[in-house]
Chains A and B, each alone.
Chain A
């Protein structure tokens, strides 16, 4: 019995390809200069021609066309976009198209074997099917919450893939499981500034489905960007706590405490010279510059939790500046 299903599998894999590739389209639009390709990928999400893709400069023109697997190239209209998720919905005039059903999308976990369908590097032309790649989900993770790590407004979870799927032109393509069930759409090329590698990933359908449906129905209202941590009017700085740091002489000067001012909050809390500050709250601090920067997000009046390395121990201190008694801030009731 099982032997039969084993033998059947290659044909089924072919089935997966045959049933999936017609649902993935080639999108042509703006670009074509200085390394910006004028094409990307998309997926058909309704028989009557709604197309889901990523929101990018390629769509920034009145002349966007969609290439179907049967070779037809149709003009497309931008219905709407969610700039926070960087997804967009296009519409072409067509009927009876093979399509993905977003409501039947599957969820993946680390180790899931996946197939990616996209027109990476614009390899497929005319009625040629898009390219299929295989890989494994490396991890399901949120794009690092840290400021400036990834240049994208999206902060939700992604499927990280262990194959080089996110090449020029691939964005908007489909990530499916080995049965051909849709799981996500390939995102734009993203560089990880934490370790200078390129990230291969897809946005899970469940993260974008609501927006996409609202766009389709014409009901979409762009949400306000989740507020980036905003700097308070008056920020904290090391001096306000009585901490004198070592001079900033290197590229990444380690934030060692040079001196602690007498009867300052730092001294009262027990900070000592040569303590190395490594955490503000639970955020890792890798240089003196980062420490000063991080403190700018803490209100002058708020307590701050610092973790230091002293000898071979980690010690945690809570410090508060004397802001409570700051006359410029008014009196407390």
Chain B
């Protein structure tokens, strides 16, 4: 017998399950003690004085983990087993026949998976992961061993669930959901599957780790969640259903996303109450999709930026509801909104077809409106006037070049003219004109104020779509009034070859800053991502130096940590290096391009898709795209350049990628490299650099 007075008075650190254990003491008092796994502790706990009660309850946090001889652990064990026992009749095994062996490069298992009965009439919910193979036939095995052919009724693409239906004479036992307000982080959570054996469920024990994960769609647990229980329930100690286990990822979507985290202590479940809410629509055979509003919000960081609308697609629920760029969202469905991220969470909970009521401030005036969220948005296509601008900060936009047969050409605009207004609004500089035109689609008519020498006139133009071919060689430079270039000594700013270091990454990285660098003429940036094997800086420099000097372009060339391959987290390295360059040198936000060969090209796609904020072009040679491209956005133009050889094994996939991107209305430049796969020759590289230089086309 030990003297408890020797113990520290406070156990600040709670282990697993403490709250819930305290909870069952509470709850079972309410339910009576017949099924109370801890009923014997009750009297003892509550008979001692109040001020020691706290440490005891706190101690219970630790007890289940280690406690040995005392019977708390035995009781807990019994409680866990009993909870599983209670839900077991509703947990079914699922078998699939036929189907694919691989999806998204992942080998799929053919083993049994789990489902949860949610409606006595024969409806069973499961994880979409279990059907990624698109099986020809699905069988449900009830706990009594009976096999039933099942029909896939509907899929919830927002929460990655699938609803199955079997014919049954006897009503299926179904689980009882835990109301949202009763869920507590720290309570016991048991993940239940039926994959190892038909007659017995398998269980994994943990706690509820978090609520409102993945844009408010999921709860999180540290219980082992894997293909052994995807589709099964996450239950509390009463055997009630907290949620349905699914793989999910905050960074990716799709059937396989998040499966790489199996058994890691990071597992997700869709709250049972949300499943219940979606059930009537799923039973009706309705596939559910994430609800889209069609707005882009301001600012690079949604967790700090205010919820101000930066762009609205021309045809989207938000535009139809009368919202406009500049509106500041203050309320959604009656809940106050302060940050951009909260808008995402509110949308995350919704399905396509759901109504969303929004209150916003416009010029200090409150407007209230309602929209119906869409499953698909009409892809946005950028309008094009047909000019290359001078990069000078004068009053208006001086025209550097007019694309032949473009709307600008038809309107009689000539190089040397200045565009000083659009639709009656004065235009101060290139960025303003680019932004204004960027919100408009092809076919829209605009009215331009044009200055030609001493004469001013108005010209109408109907916007076309962005060109994919670079302008011919021999254009005048886009530079500004000459001032002496900064030398190495001035401001300590280095030009020429610069070695870059980043504290967080061990990677080697080099940059070349053009010899004639001047802060008043911001440089474009070409980020070179090498093919497997790395690169030799002197060789790379020899090819790029004259191009950089001529086109006012900074070359940025990191090396992958493992020379043989890039890893996805190295996209952060690229972002970091870009920030570094941007903080030392003036860079032109309209001309930042990631360019890569082979694996480096795939990495270029990944970098561009991850950093839509900064990257305006991706140029990939003999490389395929990783991941799904996001929607084309008005204020985040992205141009794509794809080069491949006829006999490249990647030729077909690259052409398919081009097709997908074109359908999404991205401007795609396709380049043939002849028969055999190779990198660009000097002429092609020079053309690519001209393509980069022309990215500020308007």
A27 lies within 8 A of chain B by Cβ: no
Asked if A110 contacts B203 (CB within 8 A), the reply is yes
With contacts A195-B195, A278-B137 taken as known, whether A113 is within 8 angstroms of B77 at the C-beta atoms is yes
A1 lies within 8 A of chain B by Cβ: yes
Asked if A194 contacts B147 (CB within 8 A), the reply is no
A313 lies within 8 A of chain B by Cβ: yes
Asked if A197 contacts B262 (CB within 8 A), the reply is yes
Which A residues are CB-close (under 8 A) to B223?
162
Q: Give chain A's interface secondary structure class.
A: mixed
B533 lies within 8 A of chain A by Cβ: no
For window 262-282 of B, CB contacts with A under 8 Å fall at 262-263
Which B residues are CB-close (under 8 A) to A279?
147
Asked if B59 contacts A7 (CB within 8 A), the reply is yes
Which A residues are CB-close (under 8 A) to B537?
none
Cα A287 to Cα B109 in complex, Å, equals 13
Which B residues are CB-close (under 8 A) to A8?
1-2, 4, 70
Chain B residue, CB-CB nearest to A114: B77
A219 lies within 8 A of chain B by Cβ: no
Asked if A13 contacts B66 (CB within 8 A), the reply is yes
A258 to chain B, nearest CB (A): 14
Which A residues are CB-close (under 8 A) to B108?
196
Stretch of A78-86, A121-129, A133-141 that contacts chain B: A133-141
Asked if B111 contacts A139 (CB within 8 A), the reply is no
Which A residues are CB-close (under 8 A) to B205?
111, 113, 135-136, 162
With contacts A139-B201, A178-B67, A251-B101 taken as known, whether A162 is within 8 angstroms of B2 at the C-beta atoms is no
Partner of A162, one of B68, B133, B224: B224
- The 8 A CB mask of B223-240 against A (1 = contact, 0 = none) is 110111000000000000
Asked if A285 contacts B97 (CB within 8 A), the reply is yes
A1 to chain B, nearest CB (A): 6
B73 lies within 8 A of chain A by Cβ: yes
B164 lies within 8 A of chain A by Cβ: no
Asked if A312 contacts B84 (CB within 8 A), the reply is no
Cα A291 to Cα B44 in complex, Å, equals 62
Which A residues are CB-close (under 8 A) to B495?
none
Which A residues are CB-close (under 8 A) to B191?
162
B56 to chain A, nearest CB (A): 6
Chain B residue, CB-CB nearest to A137: B203
A120 to chain B, nearest CB (A): 15
Chain A residue, CB-CB nearest to B108: A196
A298 lies within 8 A of chain B by Cβ: no
Cα A179 to Cα B195 in complex, Å, equals 30
- The 8 A CB mask of B84-98 against A (1 = contact, 0 = none) is 100000000001111
Asked if B72 contacts A6 (CB within 8 A), the reply is yes
B110 to chain A, nearest CB (A): 5
B437 lies within 8 A of chain A by Cβ: no
Asked if B59 contacts A139 (CB within 8 A), the reply is no
Cα A200 to Cα B62 in complex, Å, equals 24
Chain A residue, CB-CB nearest to B67: A9
For window 179-222 of B, CB contacts with A under 8 Å fall at 191, 195-197, 200-206
Asked if B7 contacts A309 (CB within 8 A), the reply is no
For window 184-209 of A, CB contacts with B under 8 Å fall at 192-198, 200
A10 lies within 8 A of chain B by Cβ: yes
A109 lies within 8 A of chain B by Cβ: yes
Which B residues are CB-close (under 8 A) to A109?
81
Which A residues are CB-close (under 8 A) to B73?
9, 113, 178
Asked if A3 contacts B44 (CB within 8 A), the reply is yes
B503 lies within 8 A of chain A by Cβ: no
Partner of A276, one of B45, B97, B167: B97
Asked if A286 contacts B200 (CB within 8 A), the reply is no
With contacts A195-B111, A197-B263 taken as known, whether A9 is within 8 angstroms of B139 at the C-beta atoms is no
A253 lies within 8 A of chain B by Cβ: yes
Cα A179 to Cα B102 in complex, Å, equals 45
Which A residues are CB-close (under 8 A) to B7?
7
Asked if A278 contacts B112 (CB within 8 A), the reply is no
Chain A residue, CB-CB nearest to B66: A13
- The 8 A CB mask of A1-44 against B (1 = contact, 0 = none) is 11111111111111110000000000000000000000000000
Which B residues are CB-close (under 8 A) to A197?
109, 226-228, 262-263
Chain A residue, CB-CB nearest to B204: A162
Cα A139 to Cα B1 in complex, Å, equals 35
Partner of B65, one of A13, A179, A276: A13
Asked if B2 contacts A11 (CB within 8 A), the reply is yes
Which A residues are CB-close (under 8 A) to B96?
286
Asked if B45 contacts A3 (CB within 8 A), the reply is yes
With contacts A3-B56, A110-B81, A194-B111 taken as known, whether A287 is within 8 angstroms of B70 at the C-beta atoms is no
Chain A residue, CB-CB nearest to B15: A134
With contacts A111-B84, A286-B97, A286-B110 taken as known, whether A313 is within 8 angstroms of B149 at the C-beta atoms is yes
Cα A149 to Cα B110 in complex, Å, equals 10
B80 lies within 8 A of chain A by Cβ: yes
Cα A134 to Cα B201 in complex, Å, equals 21
Asked if B202 contacts A7 (CB within 8 A), the reply is no
Cα A284 to Cα B41 in complex, Å, equals 48
With contacts A8-B2, A10-B62, A180-B68 taken as known, whether A251 is within 8 angstroms of B100 at the C-beta atoms is yes
Give A residues with C-beta under 8 Å from B.
1-16, 109-113, 134-136, 138-139, 141, 144, 149, 160, 162-164, 178-180, 192-198, 200, 250-255, 276, 278-279, 284-287, 307, 309, 312-314
The 23 listed contacts between A and B (C-beta, < 8 Å) are: A2-B40, A5-B72, A7-B56, A9-B66, A15-B68, A110-B200, A110-B203, A112-B77, A134-B66, A138-B228, A139-B197, A162-B203, A163-B224, A178-B66, A179-B68, A179-B69, A180-B68, A195-B195, A197-B109, A197-B262, A250-B100, A252-B110, A284-B139
Q: Sort A-B residue pairs by CB-CB distance and give the 10 closest, nearest first.
A: A194-B111, A13-B66, A254-B98, A195-B109, A111-B81, A162-B204, A2-B44, A254-B136, A9-B67, A7-B4
Q: A7-B56, A110-B81, A312-B149 are in contact. List 9 more A-B contacts (CB 8 A).
A: A8-B4, A12-B69, A13-B67, A111-B77, A141-B196, A178-B67, A194-B112, A197-B263, A287-B97
